[in-house]
Amino acid sequence: MFKQKHFLALGAVTLVALLLLSLPQRVTSRLKLAMGSLFLPLTSLTTTAQQLPADVANDVLPRRELLQEISRLQQENQELKVQALQNASMAMENEQLRYQLRWQRQAPWKIKLANVVMRDPANWWRTVEIDLGSENGLTNNLPVLTADGLIGRISAVWPTHSQVVLIGDPNCRVSAQVDNPAHDIGVVNAAGTLDNTLADLTYLSGTAILKPGQAVITSGLGGVFPKGIPIGQIVDSRPVEFGLYTQARVKLGANLGTLEQVWVLFR
Amino acid sequence: MSKQNLTLIFAAAFLTVFGESTLSGLRGWLGAQVDLLPALMVYTALYASITTVGLLAVFGGMFFDSLSANPLGISILPLFLVGFIIYLQRDLILRDLSFAQIILGAAASALVPLLKVLLLLTAGTPLLLGWGSLWQWIVLTVGGAVATPIIFALFQWFDHAFGYQLRSESSFRPDREIRRKR
């Protein structure tokens, strides 16, 4: 049953696998980039194919509908301009107060729009790939969010694309703060394997008083995520470790299952 | 096995991995992404040489790991081990029976993720595991079982459509022809 040829094949494949697993991180990253680059033509093709129906729909959109849309957007633009003016005066006031109190100035956020091009094929990770890379100025650990809230951080960067590890993956823990009178601080962790709309907020104080619907935002501790990015809302809570800590379930603001476009945050 | 089918196996592995990372319909519906590489390995182990089995394990595994957060190379050994076992027993397997294909597909699709997770846990990598993983494992197993006969049928159709067919032997032999003379 066992021929020399079989032994050779078994040995060769085992050797290749062990060699790849023992390579340094830098070499592995380059190899992953090389293998991943093979998929780039297909990725472009898929993006074009997905865009085609939208382009066709745009071409046949009636003029009346377009004019209505322009009118609505112009109105929204005016409202936002007024709001921006109000915010600018508030920001100035904030800066003056910070200066008087000798507090550190907050750097403004810069954001870049990215498209989600792939998802992790393995079921035990929660990562996605986006179409921005080091050529666009991305580095590791930059926060990634949508208009609905935080979704994760950059975990690997290649020249043209990057990997984002999402909230709920064991490699993405976020220091978070509950919007309650005590401003309780905990760590957002993975909640379950199937439901990606929920996460666990752990290591909250044993005396924390939490109510469903309270907002959860980033605490700014840890140095990766700036303070104040919305994460989600408290669903329920329970004491753990004989009342030493409180653990809460958080309904994430962003829907991680239907991500298409995300914002990468620069400081 | 024809050269066309060999080319098709590697093209299928490439497209399978790409499809798994771009099409998330099943993932959204069932909560798990079905992996078709084990089903492809079953076909390869039953019809191709041990070299092809090894090459599919190496390239298929590397394709998968390059689009995943897995350490590069972790998927090679589980894929090869499944292919190797089937290859050694292939003379005893009734490979043309759909029932055999389904059972082999289910076994391979159940074993490959299990071995991958074991390898990752052995390496000390923290994974997203829980009771839901059991459901995902069932989805993977059933998905692989359903996909295997389809893959077999597709490859056989491809081989039939693009490969040279054997000329059927005729019972007529000119040297045994009885020539009648007046």
Look at A125 and B33 and tell me if their CB atoms are within 8 Å.
no
A182: nearest Cα among A214, A212, A213, A223: A214
Is a pLDDT exceeding 60 seen at residue A119?
yes
Lowest mean pLDDT among A253-257, B100-104, B169-173: B169-173
> Per the domain annotation, does B95 fall within a domain?
yes
Task: Indicate the residue type of B128.
Answer: L
Backbone angles phi, psi at B77, to 5 degrees: -65, -45
Q: Is the pLDDT of residue A6 over 80?
A: yes
Q: What is the pLDDT of residue A101?
A: 81
Instruction: Name the residue range of residue A114's domain.
Output: 110-267
**Does residue A168 sit in helix, strand or coil?**
coil
Is residue A127 a part of any domain in this protein? Answer: yes
Of A32, A169, A195, the CB nearest to B66: A32
* Closest residue in B to A46 (Cα–Cα): B22
Two tokens, residue B54:
């090894």
Q: Which ipTM was obtained for this model?
A: 0.82
pLDDT at A103 over 80: no
Mutate to test the interface with B, among A123, A167, A197 (most CBs of B within 10 A): A123
Total residues found in chain A within this entry: 267
Which of B21, B66, B88 has its CB closest to that of A119?
B21
Residue in chain B nearest A40 by alpha carbon: B18
Q: What is the pLDDT of residue A2?
A: 64
Residue A178 makes CB contacts below 8 A (sequence gap 6+) with A184, A185, A186, A201, A204, A208, A210, A214, A215, A216, A234, A248
Q: How many residues does chain B have?
A: 182
| The predicted structure's pLDDT at residue A102 | 76
**Run of H or E including A165:** strand A162-166
Least confident stretch, A12-16, A29-33, B11-15, B85-89: A29-33
Mean pLDDT of B143-147: 95
Of B18, B32, B57, Cβ closest to residue A13: B57
Task: Return the number of CB contacts < 8 Å for A and B.
Answer: 152
Is the residue at A187 inside a domain?
A: yes
Task: Report yes or no on A31 lying in a domain.
Answer: no
Interchain CB distance below 8 Å, B133 and A36 = no
* Contact check, Cβ <8 Å, A124/B133: yes
pLDDT in tens, A50-96: 788 888 888 888 888 889 999 999 999 999 999 999 998 888 888 88
Q: Cβ A13–B69 below 8 Å, yes or no?
A: no
Q: Is the pLDDT of residue B166 over 80?
A: no
Question: Strands A261-266 and A110-119, how do they pair?
Answer: antiparallel
Cα–Cα distance, B76 to B180 (Å, whole number): 68
pLDDT digits (tens, 9 = 90+) for A177-231: 998 888 889 999 887 777 888 889 999 888 888 889 999 999 888 888 888 889 9
Q: What CA–CA distance (Å, rounded) separates B105 from A162?
A: 34
User: Does the beta-carbon distance from A5 to B50 stay under 8 Å?
Assistant: yes
In CATH, what number is assigned to the domain containing residue A226? 2.40.10.350
The total of structural domains in chain B comes to 1
Residue A85, token pair as written in the block: 């003016």
Residue B80 lies in a domain: yes
Question: Which pTM does this prediction carry?
Answer: 0.83
The verdict on a CB contact (< 8 Å) between B18 and A39 is yes
| B99 domain-assigned | yes
Q: Scanning every residue of chain A, which has its alpha carbon at the shortest distance from the alpha carbon of B83?
A: A10
Would B73 be classed as within a structural domain? Answer: yes
Residue A59 falls inside a structural domain = no
Residue of chain A with shortest Cα separation from B24: A119
Indicate whether B182 belongs to any domain.
Answer: no
Q: What is the spatial distance between Cα B148 and Cα B39, in angstroms, rounded to a whole number?
A: 5
User: B150 to chain A, minimum CA–CA distance in Å?
Assistant: 21
Give the pLDDT score at A76: 95
Q: Confirm whether A101 is domain-assigned.
A: no
Q: Is A13 on the interface with B (CB under 8 A)?
A: yes
A49: in domain: no
Rounded CA separation B49/B52 (Å):
5
Short-list B110, B119, B108, B118, CA closest to B84: B108
Question: Which residues form the domain of B19?
Answer: 3-163
Q: Crossing angle, helix B131-162 and helix B3-22, to 10 degrees? A: 150
Q: Which residues of A touch B132 (CB under 8 A)?
A: 192-195
A215 in a structural domain: yes
pLDDT band at B136 (very low <50, low <70, confident <90, very high): very high
Instruction: Report which of residues B163 and A88 the model is more confident about.
Output: A88
- Is the distance from CB of A162 to CB of A138 less than 8 angstroms? yes
Q: Of the candidates A129, A170, A195, which has its C-beta nearest B126's C-beta?
A: A170
* 3-state class (DSSP) for residue A266: strand
Indicate whether B40 belongs to any domain: yes
Q: Tell me whether residue A41 is in a domain.
A: no
Answer whether residue B174 is part of any domain.
Answer: no
For B75, nearest residue in chain A (alpha carbons): A17
d(CA A91, CA B146): 60
Residue B182 has pLDDT above 70, yes or no: no
pLDDT tens, position by position, A142-159:
999 998 889 999 998 988
Contact B132 A194 (CB under 8 A): yes
Say whether A257 and B24 touch across the interface (CB within 8 A).
yes
